[in-house]
Amino acid sequence: MERDGYVFKRDLVERIESGAAGVSEDRVAGLRGAMLKSSALAKFDPCDLQNSRLRALVSAVLDRDAWKLLWIPPSLPYYTAFGTPYGDPASSAITKVLVFSNWRFVPRAIAGLLSYETERRIAELADEHLRYEDLSSRSRRPLLTFSLDEQGEPRDLNHLVPLYPSPSLCGLLDPLEAAKHAAAEGRTLDHKTLLQMASERVAELLPMSQSGRGEREDQRWYGVAMLDADLRKHTHETRDWFDQRLPWSSFVEANSDDNSGEGGFKIHADKLIGLASSRDCGKMPEDIVRVLAKVTLGSPAVVALRSFRRLALSQGVAGYPAWLLDAAARVGLAFRTLFSQPDATILTRALYGGREERYWEAMLDHCIAGNLQAVMDEHVHVLRESLGVATKPPEETIKRIADEIVLGMTLRATVLRVDDFEVGNALKLAEKQISFRCRGALRFDSDPGEDGGGDTRADQVRVAFNSPFRPFVLASTAVGQEGLDFHLWCHAIFHWNLPSNPVDFEQREGRVHRYKGHVVRRSVASALGLAALGDTEVSSDPWESLFSIARTLREDGQNDLVPYWVFNGNGIFKIRRYIPALPLSRERAALGKLRAALGAYRIVFGQPRQEDLLAFLQSANTIGDLDTQLYAIDLSPGAPS
């Protein structure tokens, strides 16, 4: 609770500072039990959530194992990753949650405590006896760095493997086309089958005559083989990209966490280019086919390139122009930022294994398990329309989409600080505040970043929430309930408090019930599935095709609200409404009246002086007997005037 936010807090602080905040002996134990304990939080001890609403929110989000995911699962998965959190059938129901409260301190409490509980569960899964400070970006060394040895030579060449947008691997195997083919035959794919398919094609791609020299395996071949294939199969496009004014090697400035002096990334990228040209490497590793199969399906840069190329092909752009590779490479680097976050690193290693020096491969395994290609295809589709770039030239369209993806993925953790109290004969303010690091849940506001690099603005938080990536929970006061869209990856509304009138209630839920929202896409995908895409063009946008097919299924009398705003499908997915009103509370009693008023509001929407008409209908106490046709105005497309 901010000191300047509530009279109670200001009065309490004044009494403490004046020495007038005495505590009777019989209340000491109770007060201590209700306080947050900084020593317990530092050890990642479970936090007693002494609030039923907060426990309900944790149950709705974390108890569904959303904390094991780095992104929301796709609405149309191309395959099943059995044995992973993304392959759990329950994960298909996970969506982001938008929380509204009338009280200013609630978003702070939600952001801090839910983020803490998310990290606590991750630390418990890792079983490394981690402390809270161990998940700070300042305390933990990133694993995807570009360091140099004593001679100035690259140490981490394989860290480029998930970041390089290889045209050869992009075109080698498209998970969407493989899934469409399997669905046409009545089969479903799993990730192991798809990896086997990719391995067979990678084996054909590699020139075994270039297997290297010597008896010792040279793991630099993982990246060299990718670039070598591109220089052979896409010679001009690859060389043009590396020779352009702003080459790939200049994409990343030197970072203090790289421990590499100036230009660590550039030195690594230049070394890779040189090795691909000279092929001066040792023996190819025995697992190179398996590893490059993983790169084909899970490399963020290759996945982004495949999604962007679908869009480019639909606008008549052939091949792999430099600006297309630029966009994919920038998204790849954004994934480096995501997987370098301490909680993501610990979670990925706990779930997908791997030694520190092979963390880049665990990153690929995580991306494959998470059906990243399906997620990226879906996200690119919705961004193209939500950003208003559908009619722009292809280069501008894809650049804008890449910018939005990068902005949503590179949001820094924020820090919320709360006062700590010492309870004895008198209540005292502790010298040091309690700091909460917020990643899994955020409040819709500007807060200081964890790394001290300036505030994270509310508009950046909105972009991140409108991506499939974290945060999974966004808490807001009334400031977020009008004129803003939060529907791209969210169809759950949590009403911490009930609003006082139906207008505010409708405004809140309207934030997630919008054009091609998450619930609409899930309904379309579950009703039609991959089998409906059997006759669509190769490398075409699957979501454009699905909505076109769904449009043909409209019943007589239905308009363009179906399927873009409303699509019931098989009835599995709906807007989720959480109202954690306590039994016998005032809110529970008011809920019935608010629902009735909401129905009346929807009837009079669009009428002149609708507030007066609504008040009349409510005072008449005849809402249940209303002739809806008498009062309603049909605002649907094509309605008669």
Q: Is pLDDT of 560 > 90? A: no
**Averaged pLDDT for residues 38-62:** 93
What are 71's strand-pairing partners? 469
Query: Cα(241)–Cα(263) distance, rounded to whole angstroms?
Result: 19
CB neighbour burial string for 106-126, b if at least 16 within 10 angstroms, e if fewer: bbbbbbbbbbbbbbbbbbeeb
**Averaged pLDDT for residues 25-52:** 81
Give the CA dihedral 140, 141, 143, 148, nearest 10 degrees.
180
Give the CA dihedral 87, 90, 96, 101, nearest 10 degrees.
-160
Band the pLDDT of 641: cuts 50, 70, 90. low
Which alpha helices (H) appear in 144-263, and where do they start and end? 167-172, 175-184, 191-205, 221-233, 235-243
Q: Is pLDDT of 552 > 80? A: yes
Q: Is pLDDT of 361 > 90? A: yes
Query: Cα(558)–Cα(612) distance, rounded to whole angstroms?
Result: 31
pLDDT by residue (tens digit) across 387-397? 999 999 999 99
| Higher-pLDDT residue of 463, 619 | 463
Q: Is pLDDT of 276 > 50? A: yes
Band the pLDDT of 419: cuts 50, 70, 90. confident
Give CB contacts under 8 A, 24+ apart, made by 65-70.
65/90, 65/91, 66/94, 66/472, 67/117, 67/118, 67/121, 67/122, 67/440, 68/125, 68/347, 68/351, 69/94, 69/370, 69/472, 70/338, 70/344, 70/347, 70/348, 70/366, 70/370, 70/469, 70/470
Predicted local distance difference test score (pLDDT) of residue 214? 72
Predicted local distance difference test score (pLDDT) of residue 259? 47
Architecture of domain 7-64+95-137+413-444+462-514: 3-Layer(aba) Sandwich (3.40)
Query: Cα(172)–Cα(141) distance, rounded to whole angstroms?
Result: 35
What are 217's strand-pairing partners? 283
Q: Is pLDDT of 326 > 70? A: yes
Cis previous bond, 563, omega within 30: yes
CB neighbour burial string for 489-527, b if at least 16 within 10 angstroms, e if fewer: bbbbbbbbbbbeebbbbbbbbbbbbbebbbbbbbbbbbb
Band the pLDDT of 9: cuts 50, 70, 90. confident
C-beta of residue 581 within 8 angstroms of C-beta of residue 537 = no
Query: Cα(611)–Cα(601) distance, rounded to whole angstroms?
Result: 8
Q: Is pLDDT of 630 > 70? A: no
- Spell out the domain ranges in the chain: 7-64+95-137+413-444+462-514, 157-409, 581-631
Query: Cα(100)–Cα(205) distance, rounded to whole angstroms?
Result: 53
pLDDT by residue (tens digit) across 246-268? 666 666 653 444 444 457 888 89
Query: Cα(588)–Cα(579) distance, rounded to whole angstroms?
Result: 9
Band the pLDDT of 489: cuts 50, 70, 90. very high
**Averaged pLDDT for residues 49-53:** 90
pLDDT by residue (tens digit) across 373-409? 999 999 999 999 999 999 999 999 999 999 999 999 9
How does DSSP classify residue 553? T
* Burial of 311 (C-beta count, 10 Å sphere; 0-12/13-18/19+): buried
How does DSSP classify residue 490? E
pLDDT by residue (tens digit) across 518-551? 999 999 999 999 999 988 888 899 999 999 999 9
Q: What 3 state SS string does 293-330 have? A: HHHHHHCHHHHHHHHHHHHHHHCCCCCCCHHHHHHHHH
How does DSSP classify residue 574? -
Query: Cα(423)–Cα(27) distance, rounded to whole angstroms?
Result: 10
Q: Is pLDDT of 449 > 90? A: no
Considering only CA atoms, which of 39, 106, 13 is closest in space to residue 434?
A: 39
Which range is least confidently modeled, 42-46, 144-148, 207-211, 499-503? 207-211
Q: Is pLDDT of 364 > 90? A: yes
Give the CA dihedral 194, 199, 205, 210, nearest 10 degrees.
160
Give the CA dihedral 187, 191, 194, 199, nearest 10 degrees.
-160
Distance of CA 139 to the CA centre of its chain: 24
| Higher-pLDDT residue of 70, 261 | 70
Query: Cα(242)–Cα(250) distance, rounded to whole angstroms?
Result: 10
Predicted local distance difference test score (pLDDT) of residue 44? 95
Band the pLDDT of 338: cuts 50, 70, 90. very high
Which range is least confidently modeled, 205-209, 348-352, 476-480? 205-209
CB neighbour burial string for 598-627, b if at least 16 within 10 angstroms, e if fewer: bebbebbbeeeebeebbeebbeeeebeebe
Q: Is pLDDT of 343 > 80? A: yes
Tokens 């790169």 label which residue? 295
| Higher-pLDDT residue of 453, 478 | 478
What are 427's strand-pairing partners? 423
pTM: 0.92
Predicted local distance difference test score (pLDDT) of residue 594? 83
| Three-class DSSP category at 455 | strand
Helices H / strands E in the chain, number of each: 26, 11
Query: Cα(94)–Cα(102) distance, rounded to whole angstroms?
Result: 26
Q: Average per-residue pLDDT in the chain?
A: 88
Query: For the chain, percent helix, then strand, then coil, each to nearest 5?
Result: 55, 10, 35
